[in-house]
Amino acid sequence: MGDIAVVGGGVIGLTCALRLAEAGHRVEVVADRAPGDTVSAVAGGLWFPYLAAPADAVLRWARESLDRFAELAAMPTTGVFWREGIVLHRADDPDLAWTAVVPDCRAARPDELPEGVASGVVCSVPVVDTAAYLGWLAARCARVGVAFRRAHVVRPADLPQPTVVVAAGLASGVLVGDPTLEPVRGQVVRLANPGLTRWVVDDDNPAGMAYAIPRGHDVVCGGTADRGESGTAHDPDVERAVLDRVVALVPELRGVPVVSRAVGLRPVRPSVRLDRVTVAGQALVSCYGHGGSGVTLSWGCAADVVGLAGP
């Protein structure tokens, strides 16, 4: 099969590389940073469609990823867990479209709802320890013959491969001349896990979005969604506000030690770009603009990339 370069070493790039190699392609991942230093490593890792469109395609990609993560959750080395949790809704008419692809959703009982919350959905979905999972993905890629090269790509035309998959998150816009991508800043703080397994998401919190996602040894607490903000410096005032909101939802986290902190820039555009064009004889397959849903959509989008790459 023809050689393919995948630009980007985050969850989208690595998943695309793996699926392409499994389909028989010779694949090289070209990235200017290690997987653990990408925005994917900052993500809380909860399967949940967020800041991604169009709705019908997002649900299709999310469903395929959900099925794949269900398989991976049975493998102890992947960093994938299957965990029950609750999505809180403070509005009377919440968007529940995502529940169509989740098999075991139920309405939250009144005793499960914090004061001021109108309703909620309880379900079990994948929770991904992104550091462990990215390491597993990279190792799996290497085992099926994917090559890795650390380099900063300025133009896809500089790569020798006849097909290039652009999966570089926020940097993808510069590579393909797309001005619609914008950063949405997210800041998280990771606390030592005191034994929690149940996650909670409260995006409609009037004081700001709040979530607590227990993984293995830590609990990812967030967060923020600062559209257009491109700074990645840690803000201690933001962290204090995040922890106040989270502790109000999960009192067991009060006073728990901080393990680590992180800031990342979600790559957001009006819709996920997943298409193929030919420029000067080189095929460019775009796969970027996943917003806060990179993990959630990764396997479904990678399957489409394989189809677009061709034989």
What the block records as the tokens of 12 is 């989208």
Q: Which residue, 204, 167, 251, is CA-closest to 87?
A: 204
**pLDDT, tens digit (0-9, with 9 covering 90-100), for 71-95:** 999 999 999 999 999 999 998 899 9
Cis peptide before 257 (omega within 30 of 0): no
pTM above 0.85, yes or no: yes
> Phi/psi of residue 220, each to 5°?
-80, 120
Q: Which residues contact 99 (CB under 8 A, 6 or more apart)?
A: 105, 121, 123
Cα separation, 135 vs 25, whole angstroms? 22
Specify which residues 263 forms β-bridges with.
187
Confidence of residue 116 (pLDDT cuts 50, 70, 90): confident
Mean pLDDT of 199-225: 96
Q: What angle do CA 220, 184, 101 make, to 5 degrees?
A: 65
Task: Read off the amino acid at residue 159.
Answer: L
Mean pLDDT of 265-279: 98
**pLDDT, tens digit (0-9, with 9 covering 90-100), for 26-73:** 999 999 999 999 999 999 999 999 999 999 999 999 999 999 999 999
Cis peptide before 251 (omega within 30 of 0): no
Q: How many residues does the chain have?
A: 311
pLDDT at position 253: 98
- What are the angstrom distances between the C-alpha of 55 and each of 49, 120, 227? 9, 21, 20
* 290 has a pLDDT exceeding 60: yes
- Give, for 133, the enclosing helix (H) or strand (E): helix 130-143
Q: How many helices (H) does the chain have, and how many strands (E)?
A: 6, 15
Whether the Cβ atoms of residue 273 and residue 205 lie closer than 8 Å to each other: no
pLDDT at position 294: 98
Count of other CB atoms within 10 angstroms of residue 63:
16
Q: Tell how far CA 105 is from the center of its chain.
A: 21
Whether the Cβ atoms of residue 278 and residue 163 lie closer than 8 Å to each other: no
pLDDT at position 92: 87
Q: Tell how far CA 37 is from the center of its chain.
A: 14
Cα separation, 40 vs 60, whole angstroms? 21
Superfamily the domain 3-309 falls into: D-Amino Acid Oxidase, subunit A, domain 2 (3.30.9.10)
Mean pLDDT of 201-219: 95
What the block records as the tokens of 51 is 């800041």
Report domain extents, the chain: 3-309
Encode 206-226: b = buried (16+ Cβ within 10 Å), e = exposed.
Answer: eebbbbbbbbeebbbbbbbbb
Cα separation, 14 vs 294, whole angstroms? 11
